[in-house]
């Protein structure tokens, strides 16, 4: 039996057929607002049920409840509010109880929002309670602070999905759930990544596979920091790795079109909820999950799960320590599984790896597979 979606029902706000045609016609006479790429990805996620049980953007009561308690309502954990901000002038032109057409950053009609509420909230408070800081060097804070002062809440009717590169891998939750059932997978572990998979990641995923039927490699393909490795490069790395180093009957590659918020522990909870909606029963939480800079402790993303009762999340987190190549055991390991000190461990900083790639040097095979390294070398040198 498949794992239930978060909140009990898989949301579908994507209109099709006659309903979509009628909504397009209705939108012609509605006031219009334009959203950025970030909001467009949020709308797409709501439409496809990635953020079930949300059916639209959150109101003030739900937002405050999430910020203060990490719950939408009793029994439904939630840690990051999904909000739609607009300028005061735009908000003044909209009526509560009315509708507004939403165009995306590409100029296409995206959705109709049924405006149920307009509210204001201190942006600094939101940042403090989501990101744990008001420091604008944090990318999530830097995005949030300049947003318009008024938030619009209400249900969405969505007319258009958000296309991404490698769209053939962009399976919505209905499709991944069907694929898991077709493959006979009952225990499915998801691996979150916004970077290429190196040997330590590979080790974590294969450890998890030993207790699960299938692995969903699920790279995030929404907005990311400018200095993150581009999605197209990452995808080529995943494909190369899967082709040679994973058992094909027990692994699947699919995209997650969700924004990276860099919210550390609270984003680890959200990532697990989204994977639950995709049909996964287990979720890998590694070192500094969804972290950035020095804003979070190394294992804060593990500890936050302790704030919920066992089984309350409805998906099983798998916590992993920092993995590395051990000279003592001649294989991948962690401090839990091998003797020896730091001098016996091989791991490289991201900065050192990037310097090697730009010089055309192959990182050691204990760090990354050569097929992946070659793809990264070609990308790094093309950046010069």
Query: Any catalytic annotation for residue 194?
Result: yes
User: CA 213, 218, 219: angle at the middle one, nearest 5?
Assistant: 155
Query: Any catalytic annotation for residue 195?
Result: yes
Q: Which of 134, 187, 195, 287 is catalytic?
A: 195
Exposed/middle/buried for residue 233 (C-beta within 10 Å: 0-12, 13-18, 19+): middle
**CB-based burial, 134-156: b 16+ in 10 Å, e otherwise:** eeeebbbbebbeebbebbbbbeb
Residues in the chain: 384
Q: Which of 65, 171, 177, 194 is catalytic?
A: 194
State how far the alpha carbon of 148 is from the alpha carbons of 89, 106, 127, 364, in Å: 10, 20, 14, 48
Q: Which helix (H) or strand (E) holds 324?
A: strand 323-326
**What is the C-alpha to C-alpha distance for residues 156 and 46, in angstroms, rounded to an integer?**
8
| Cβ neighbours of residue 82 closer than 8 Å, sequence gap 6 or more | 42, 46, 51, 54, 57, 58
Nearest to 282 by CA among 305, 260, 259: 305
**What is the C-alpha to C-alpha distance for residues 368 and 357, in angstroms, rounded to an integer?**
12
Cα dihedral 255→256→257→260 (10° resolution): -130
Please say whether the beta carbons of 150 and 85 come within 8 A: yes
Other beta carbons within 10 Å of 25: 9
Both tokens of residue 126?
Answer: 């939101």
State how far the alpha carbon of 274 is from the alpha carbons of 26, 179, 367, in Å: 32, 17, 30
Which sign, positive or negative, has the C-alpha torsion 99, 11, 262, 104?
negative
Catalytic residue numbers, as ranges: 194-195
């Amino acid at each position: 039996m498949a794992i239930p979606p978060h909140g009990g029902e898989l949301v579908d706000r994507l209109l099709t057929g006659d309903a979509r045609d009628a909504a397009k016609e209705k939108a012609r006479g509605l006031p219009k607002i334009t959203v950025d790429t970030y909001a467009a990805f949020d709308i797409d996620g709501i439409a496809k049920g990635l953020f079930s049980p949300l059916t639209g953007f959150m109101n003030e009561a739900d937002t405050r409840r999430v910020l203060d308690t990490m719950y939408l309502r009793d029994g439904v954990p939630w840690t990051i509010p999904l909000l739609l901000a607009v300028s005061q002038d735009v908000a003044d032109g909209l009526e509560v109880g009315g509708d507004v057409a939403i165009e995306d950053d590409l100029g296409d009609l995206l959705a109709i929002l049924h405006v149920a509420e307009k509210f204001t909230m201190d942006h600094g408070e939101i940042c403090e309670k989501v990101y744990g800081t008001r420091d604008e060097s944090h990318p999530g804070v830097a995005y949030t602070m300049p947003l318009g002062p008024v938030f619009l809440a209400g249900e969405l009717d969505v007319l258009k999905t958000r296309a991404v590169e490698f769209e053939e891998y962009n399976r919505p939750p209905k499709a991944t759930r069907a694929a898991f059932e077709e493959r006979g997978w009952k225990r499915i572990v998801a691996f979150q990544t916004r970077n290429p998979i190196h040997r330590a990641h590979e080790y974590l995923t294969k450890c998890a596979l030993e207790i699960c039927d299938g692995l969903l490699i699920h790279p995030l393909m929404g907005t990311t920091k400018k200095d993150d490795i581009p999605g197209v490069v990452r995808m080529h790395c995943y494909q190369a790795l899967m082709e040679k180093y994973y058992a094909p009957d027990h692994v699947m590659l699919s995209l997650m079109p969700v924004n990276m918020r860099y919210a550390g522990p609270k984003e680890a909870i959200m990532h697990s909820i989204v994977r639950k909606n995709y049909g996964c029963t287990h979720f890998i939480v590694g070192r500094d999950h969804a972290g950035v800079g020095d804003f979070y402790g190394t294992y804060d993303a593990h500890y936050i799960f302790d704030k919920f009762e066992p089984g309350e999340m409805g998906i099983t987190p798998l916590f992993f320590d920092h993995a590395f190549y051990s000279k003592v055991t001649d294989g991948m390991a962690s401090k839990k599984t091998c003797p020896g000190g730091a001098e016996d461990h091989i791991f490289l900083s991201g900065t050192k790896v990037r310097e090697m790639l730009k010089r055309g040097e192959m990182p050691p095979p204990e760090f990354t597979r050569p097929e992946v390294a070659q793809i990264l070398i070609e990308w790094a040198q093309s950046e010069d």
